[in-house]
Structure 1
Amino acid sequence: MVKIAPSILSADFANLERDIQRISTADYVHVDVMDGMFVPNITIGIPVVKSLRPTTTLPMDVHLMIVQPVRYVEQFCDAGADLVTVHVESDTAENIHAAIDKIHAKGKKAGIVLKPKTPAEAALPYLEKVELILVMTVEPGFGGQKFMADMMPKVSTIRAWIDEKNPDCELEVDGGVDPETCKVCIAAGANVLVAGSAVYKAEDIPARIAALRG
């Protein structure tokens, strides 16, 4: 079954607990952490993740768009993240491996993220080590961007590698996912879809989550 991970970047930040309850039929709560350096925006951090943890039983999928995430991955795990993803572009390969090891040492799942301009091959050094690979279908940093359909060959390529080398690994896409583009993503091999505005702007959120499953 295709999993849905609504991004709270599109929620009402004055009512985050309420808006997390509204996505109770989803599979993950997707938390976008931005530092204003790796991406040109600043969102939320460790204290907010810790505050949100008691409000939901859903796994928290924390996407770190920050410089040198190895410095903070343990703190995000301790705050309540179930899955922590780090960008391959955010540090040296050595430090990305170290970040993955630190996440696993905390008993949590680890993933890597690829920006649109980053080739699929960048995932290969980590492919057999992670529980999730996230392919960005917009430039990271802001919500509400237009879906980049030209990322689908990358998704299909990584899906083939996952099936061959690490079948338990999930393949996630993030950016511009809606009831139409979700079909393209699923056809390309994604099994986890991040959706922000498509979920939170819907009149019937459970129905929208069901529709996004394809």
Structure 2
Amino acid sequence: MIAPSILSADFARLADEARAVDGADWLHVDVMDGHFVPNLTLGLPVVKSLLDSTDIPVDCHLMIDDPDRWAIGYAEAGAHNVTVHVEAALEPVKLAANLRAAGAKAGLSVKPNTPLEPYLDLLRHYDTLLVMSVEPGFGGQSFIPEVLEKVRTARRLVDSGELRVLVEIDGGINAETIEQAAEAGVDMFVAGSAIYAADDPARAMEALRASAVRAAGKGGDKER
């Protein structure tokens, strides 16, 4: 599944940019506050406008301080999936329950240098695991292949029935890296410039999807 990231889109034409990727599984929205990460993007008012402009399920990735306070608003506004960072959430189990109660799926993200193992029990309360394959804060960065070991760990636990999460990856995904990520066991691929820098974003998105499907098939015993 593919989630185009509007971080690489034209912010002056977000409704048009959403229509340009009709057929996407999710539409990925990076919310940055200039504190948790050294960049400032957009917030809840823009997300609400985007929700009114598209039928694509909106995937909000909150790179913010104090998500325990702010994340619920995105769920209440109608976001399909709301992801918070394990490095920022103070009461992640309670937050996951509140997000679900507000009507959204609950996602948990880990930075590239954050180990996954200490949070495996915590993931039992979440619907989505977002593995960051770049340092959060800016688009256009190079893929960090070492994070794929976290993907493989999560995939094994999902396939064995010990976890029930969708495995998502974000950062540096393009025609080359999507194959590595698919072979490791990713379900949902966030891609920004690889889609929105193309002359035809929808065609670029479907090309990425086809590459992921082919690569996932090489895994043999992996079932999605």
Offset at residue 183 of structure 1 (A): 0.3
Counterpart Cα distance in 2 of 1:168 and 1:40: 32
Alignment equivalent of 1:184, drawn from 175, 180, 187: 180
Which residue matches 1:52? 50
Do 2:133 and 2:172's aligned partners in 1 also have CA atoms closer than 8 Å? yes
Residue 105 of structure 1 pairs with residue 128 of structure 2: no
Residue 166 of structure 1 deviates from its aligned partner by: 5.2
Q: Which runs of 5+ in 2 are unaligned?
A: 212-224
SS of 1:145's partner is: coil
TM-score normalised according to structure 2 size: 0.90
Q: Which runs of 5+ in 1 are unaligned?
A: none
Instruction: Give percent identity, aligned residues only.
Output: 47
**Counterpart of 1:144?**
140
1:78 is displaced (CA, Å) by 1.8
Query: In 2, distance between residues paired with 1:58 and 1:164?
Result: 31
Deviation (angstroms), 1:20: 0.6
SS in 1 for 2:2: strand
Q: How does 1:107-126 map to 2 (within 5 A)?
A: 107-126=103-122
Q: How many equivalent residue pairs?
A: 210
What do you get for the CA RMSD once the two structures are aligned?
1.2
Indicate whether 1:63 and 2:52 are aligned.
Answer: no
Query: Which string of whole-angstrom CA distances, capped at 9 and with x for unpartnered residues, describes residues 57-92 of structure 1?
Result: 111000000112010122111222110001000133
Q: For residue 131 of structure 1, what is the aligned residue in structure 2?
A: 127
- Amino acid in the other structure paired with 2:73: Q
Question: CA 1:54–1:166 in structure 2 vs 1: closer, same or farther (change >3 Å)?
Answer: farther
TM value normalised by structure 1: 0.94
Structure 2 residue aligned with 1:19: 17
